[in-house]
Amino acid sequence: MSAAFTRGTTYVAGGTVNSSNLHALVEGAAIANIDRANVNRTSLAVVTSSASAPTSPTEKEIWQDATTHLIVTWDSATGRWKAALPNCVNVQLSALSAAASGGSLLKFTGTDVVALADGGVGGAVHCVAAHPMSPGDYGVAVMYGVFKLLTTGTVSAGQSVRLSATAGVAESAGAAGSGFGPAAFAHVLAAASGGSAWVIKK
């Protein structure tokens, strides 16, 4: 999409150039529809918020996943999205794993290698995908802190969450005091019904 520039005022033949009209020209002007295609991405830090990665990213370009709200940055030397936050780590999704969405629950299967958490209700969860990843892809996972993850059913603020019967998806583990066991890996910050929920991970 092209950026659109609107003049603050339009001069016509015989019009007067004075301080009032010059102020109107500048102060009333507007620019709309500016996106990453309209800026020099080699000299500006561009941030894209979307469910899928921006195409042809440039060095240090930033992508905020629309589900998790976590940010990652592009590393041109490796051709990979890299961790941009201290609570995130660079990982590879195992070629044997099912694909991960942003917010999918993950488990470590080797050094810096993860797979979709699929151990059944209460199974191990070590981290959460910061963005979508296909099997064999390199990407970023969040280890702790505040973010959104995929959930099923209804979860309420103050409850803990655990892995559900659906691989990569969390469910309520009960109210505070009833679900705080080894299977509970995060706590819900705001009520949600299916889809995703804000949590703080231990």
Contact 168, 149 (CB under 8 A): no
Nearest to 68 by CA among 116, 103, 99, 105: 103
pLDDT tens column, 99-158: 999 999 999 999 999 999 998 887 899 999 999 999 999 999 999 999 999 999 999 999
Tokens of 90: 């660079």
DSSP the chain: ---EEE-S----TT----HHHHHHHHHT-EEE---GGGS-TTTS--EEEESSPPSS--TT-EEEETTT--EEEEETTTTEEEE-STTEEEEEE-TTSPPB-TT-EEEEEETTEEEE--SSTT----EEESS-B-TT-EEEEE-SEEEEEEEEEEE-TT-EEEE-SSTT-EEE--STTTS-STT--EEESS-EEEEEEEEEE-
User: How many other β-carbons are positioned within 10 Å of the β-carbon of residue 96?
Assistant: 10
- How far from the centroid of its chain's Cα atoms is residue 111's Cα? 24
Taking 80 as the threshold, does the pLDDT of residue 40 lie above it?
no
| Tens digit of each residue's pLDDT (9 = 90 or more) over 70-105 | 999 999 999 999 999 999 999 999 999 999 999 999
Whole-model pTM: value is 0.78
pLDDT of residue 6: 80
- What's the whole-number mean pLDDT along residues 34-47? 66
- pLDDT value for 38: 64
Asked if residue 36 has pLDDT above 70, the reply is no
